[in-house]
Amino acid sequence: SGAGKSTLAQAVDERLNRMGYQSFVLDGDNVRHGLCGNLGFSAEDRKENIRRIGEVAKLFLDAGIITLTAFISPFREDREKVRALVPDGDFIEIYCDASLEVCESRDVKGLYQKARRGEIKDFTGISSPYEPPENPELIVKTGQHPVHQCCDEVIRYLQKNAILPFSRRRAI
């Protein structure tokens, strides 16, 4: 929470749409209220949350829609399982790099304070671990750069790696 995942995904989605591409954002907050509304935040529930999102992203990808996902996915193993769902090269892991201090400063819901007081169990970065990616395709310094600059970095990556112009189905 607070790393800029949703903000960046929305900015990239808007840019892709302006460029004429069909894209869609699967956002953690929205999905948690519907598809994954029955899940909590235990390690098992987090794994299931990411599995479900991966399956939905694959459906969008199969329909030819550029799929942007914005989720707290704290465990490398779960991210790799989602990567394995889609053809090689169709999963692009973008690490939104922001310090814990930056994330806390952006926390308008007060979740970090509640977690520090013990009111929220299994909160990533406070009472539950986060395993940073070992080899993401792209690292974006969302804690240091404005969203428009981070969005530019993502678009440049997609163009440089021949993902744009979009001629194949991809999940980002």
| SS3 assignment, position 25 | strand
Q: Residues 1, 23, 73, 128: which is the catalytic one?
A: 73
- Give every CB contact of residue 25 below 8 A, 6+ residues apart in sequence: 6, 9, 10, 13, 68, 69, 70
- What the block records as the tokens of 8 is 């960046």
Cα–Cα nearest to 170, from 51, 59, 61, 12 = 61
The CA distances from residue 113 to 16, 34, 72, 116, 152, in Å, are 36, 26, 18, 5, 33
Structure tokens at 11: 């900015």
CB atoms within 10 A of CB 83: 15
* 73 in active site: yes
Query: Would you please indicate which residues are annotated as catalytic (active-site) residues?
Result: 73
